């Protein structure tokens, strides 16, 4: 399980350090793709296979299912962590998430997310304002 929040800088070549706390859980290689809310999602291979199986079951006849699957898979790449604990994020993914310098890497249960610091700060501020309402709505899910 991934949890926690870390700040790291991305360098001019698109490399960023993966927090040591997350490296073991991600394994030797993992999948990085466009996520929701303009961040990137990183999944260990096993979690990616589970998600892939679920997405395969979506009906091809549904426009939203086709769009979501295209969005998710077309941005996906396999990553390996180098000896310095870094990954190289391709420019299309960096551009999608506006990753320029300061980044936030968070653990979210079965995945990690990479955010630009500014987008993360905005997201947290917006979410804090409605957190009580969000929590109340989660009661429907027995949480």
136 lies in a domain?
no
138 lies in a domain?
no
pTM above 0.95, yes or no: no
CATH of the domain at 52: 3.40.1550.20
Percent of all residues in the chain with a pLDDT value above 70, rounded to a whole number? 98
Nearest to 122 by CA among 39, 12, 2, 6: 39
How many domains does one find in the chain?
A: 1
131 lies in a domain?
no
Question: 20 pLDDT exceeds 80?
Answer: yes
Predicted local distance difference test score (pLDDT) of residue 12 = 93
Predicted local distance difference test score (pLDDT) of residue 142 = 66
124 lies in a domain?
no
20 lies in a domain?
yes
- Tokens representing 66 are 């086709």
CA distance readout (Å), 109 to 22, 57, 65, 74, 113:
11, 23, 24, 24, 10
By residue range, what is the domain housing residue 6? 2-117
Percent of all residues in the chain with a pLDDT value above 90, rounded to a whole number? 84
93 lies in a domain?
yes
By CB atoms closer than 10 A (0-12, 13-18, 19+), residue 48 is buried
140 lies in a domain?
no
104 lies in a domain?
yes
Q: How many helices (H) and strands (E) does the chain have?
A: 5, 8
Q: What is the pLDDT of residues 31-86, one digit of tens each?
A: 999 999 999 999 999 999 999 999 999 998 999 999 999 999 999 999 999 999 99
């Amino acid at each position: 399980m991934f949890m926690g929040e870390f700040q790291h800088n991305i360098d001019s070549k698109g490399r960023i350090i993966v927090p040591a706390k997350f490296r073991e859980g991600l394994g030797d290689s993992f999948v990085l793709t466009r996520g929701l809310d303009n961040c990137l999602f990183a999944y260990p291979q096993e979690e990616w296979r589970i998600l892939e199986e679920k997405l395969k079951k979506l009906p091809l006849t549904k426009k939203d299912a086709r769009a979501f699957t295209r969005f998710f898979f077309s941005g996906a790449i396999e990553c390996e962590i180098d000896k310095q604990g870094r990954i190289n994020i391709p420019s299309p993914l960096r551009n999608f998430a506006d990753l320029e310098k300061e980044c936030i890497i968070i653990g979210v249960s079965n995945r990690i997310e990479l955010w630009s610091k500014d987008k993360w700060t905005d997201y947290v501020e917006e979410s804090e304002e409605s957190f009580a309402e969000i929590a109340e709505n989660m009661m429907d899910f027995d949480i």
